[in-house]
């Protein structure tokens, strides 16, 4: 699959998260992005050193700047369950804008063609 480019229509999918009332929610990716400029980035795994120290911090740090340029949502997706994503989000106390959404079974990651099989490392299917 070719990389996703600006203006491409992304596939529909459903992701999970805990809302501000600590209620488990499921959300359609198309509803998140409808009529808005959004940034969706996927990482291989919550709590992994590279994702926690290199991938996510830049988005957290630049979220205000991105929003000032018209980005309505900054969304981090990982092949983890929503409980893990909720706990991982709490490790970024300075975060005000990045949403952490779960793709627990990698269904959406597969729809994007961005799966990465790390079974040989004991990690199963992850996102590139």
Spot the catalytic one: 43, 51, 63, 74: 51
Look at phi and psi of residue 78 and say left if phi exceeds 0, alpha if psi is from -120 to 50, else beta. Answer: beta
User: Does the annotation mark 76 as catalytic?
Assistant: no
Residue whose structure tokens are 């700047």? 65
**Can you say whether the dihedral through the CA atoms of 26, 73, 75, 5 is positive or negative?**
positive
DSSP β-ladder status, 71-78 and 98-102: parallel
Instruction: Give 102's DSSP letter.
Output: E
Q: Which residues are catalytic?
A: 51
């Amino acid at each position: 699959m070719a990389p996703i480019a600006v203006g491409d229509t992304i596939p529909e999918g459903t992701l999970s998260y805990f809302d501000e009332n600590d209620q488990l929610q499921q959300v359609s990716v198309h509803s998140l992005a409808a009529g808005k400029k959004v940034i969706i980035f996927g990482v291989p795994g919550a709590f992994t050193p590279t994702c926690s120290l290199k991938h996510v911090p830049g988005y957290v740090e630049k979220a205000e700047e991105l929003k000032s340029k018209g980005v309505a949502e900054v969304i981090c997706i990982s092949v983890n369950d929503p409980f893990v994503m909720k706990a991982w989000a709490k490790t970024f106390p300075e975060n005000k804008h990045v949403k952490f959404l779960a793709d627990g079974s990698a269904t959406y990651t597969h729809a994007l063609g961005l799966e990465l099989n790390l079974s040989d490392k004991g990690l199963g299917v992850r996102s590139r």
